[in-house]
Amino acid sequence: MNISDVAKQTGLTAKTIRFYEDKGIITAPSRASNGYRSYSQNNINELQLIRRSRLVGFTLDECRELLDFSRDPQRRSADVKAKAEQKLTEIDDKIAELIEMKTTLEALTKQCPGNDSARCPIIEGLCQHTK
């Protein structure tokens, strides 16, 4: 299968697919006699795992680890679950951080009259030093 077909099947761009190949993240596709890459179902499965993993927040290095797990018939589901639970904790922390950011920005925005005055509580609030 050629790269454009793989791109359509996986929802990834050809450039992204080549990037994953160049970085050694996916198994290198075979080469046809004309030198073109020929992707297998295994390549597609690896790319789909990466794409879906990225969609739920895993970094590229974490995707590499997940791919290693997927290739290991001796893997322990407990190890994969621990990796997913760690990611959930990171996501929860990020959500809490985003909520705090939103709360702060909402409070600053409510204080600002938004008129022609040079005095701006948003700028003043952002310039304040925190301990």
Share of residues in the chain with pLDDT > 90 (%): 92
Same domain? For 62 and 19 the reply is yes
Query: At 35, is the pLDDT very low, low, confident or very high (cuts 50, 70, 90)?
Result: confident
Least confident of 12-21, 35-44, 122-131: 122-131
53: Cβ contacts below 8 Å, ≥ 6 apart: 62, 63, 66
69, part of any domain: yes
Same domain? For 67 and 106 the reply is no
As a whole number, the mean pLDDT across the chain is: 95
Give the residue numbers spanning the domain of 93.
Answer: 88-130
**For range 68-94, the mean pLDDT:** 97
pLDDT given for residue 32 in this prediction: 87
Other CB atoms within a 10 A radius of the CB of residue 10 amount to: 21
3-state DSSP call for residue 31?
A: strand
Phi, psi of 36 (to 5 degrees): -75, 150
**For range 67-81, the mean pLDDT:** 97
Same domain? For 5 and 68 the reply is yes
User: pTM for the whole thing?
Assistant: 0.80
Note whether 11 and 19 are within 8 A (CB): no
Same domain? For 19 and 61 the reply is yes
Chain mean position to CA 38: 26
pLDDT given for residue 129 in this prediction: 67
Domain count along the chain:
2
Q: Which one, of 18, 87, 27, lies nearest residue 52 by Cα? A: 87
107, part of any domain: yes
